[in-house]
Amino acid sequence: MLDKEKGQSLLELIIVVALALMVIAALTFATITSLRNAYLSKSSLQATKFAQEGIEKVRSIRDRDGSVSTGFNGGTNKFSQLWGIKLYEVCIPSPCNFLLDPLNNNLSQNNTAAEDLGDSFKRSVKISDDTSSYQDKKEVTVIVNWVDFSGTHESRLTTYLRKI
């Protein structure tokens, strides 16, 4: 009779250990998922901050009539000169892609590159208009891309700047 009780104790012990391992595995999985979501949220917030900063820099360049280097209309312009340019005609494919120059606080047209912000974040600025409002309104879209363990992500903010 003692041998039978020992066998049941061993079986019970195996079941308890298996259940404990399943609980530990579930908690580990939940913790890892939570940490990944927290990291993604942090990166997304940082990218949105970079995009907002980009829009504010473009607005500042517009407000002080800063320089804009382009491949059309003589090369270097003041921002105010963009109001007279039909971007939908000169940027093919539209919209025009620009880089923010953080040192000189100006824009330069560049169709392929993006500003490297560190930690795998890259920012580009797109300026476009439509046929009816190109002389008084420009659409500015700032795109921040980043790559992490789960792939490539993007934060995109758009605003409209009016002629002042």
pLDDT in single tens digits along all 164 residues of the chain: 455 555 578 888 899 999 999 999 999 999 999 999 999 999 999 999 999 999 999 999 999 888 888 877 666 678 888 888 888 888 877 788 888 886 777 888 887 778 889 889 999 999 988 777 888 899 999 999 999 888 999 999 999 999 88
| E strands, 67-148, in order | 67-69, 76-78, 96-101, 106-109, 115-118, 121-128, 137-148
Give Cα separations from 24 to 19, 31, 32, 37 (angstroms).
9, 10, 12, 20
What was the pLDDT predicted at 10? Answer: 83
- CA 42 to chain CA centroid, nearest Å: 12
* Secondary structure letter of residue 79 according to DSSP: G
Rounded CA-CA distance 76/6 in Å is: 89
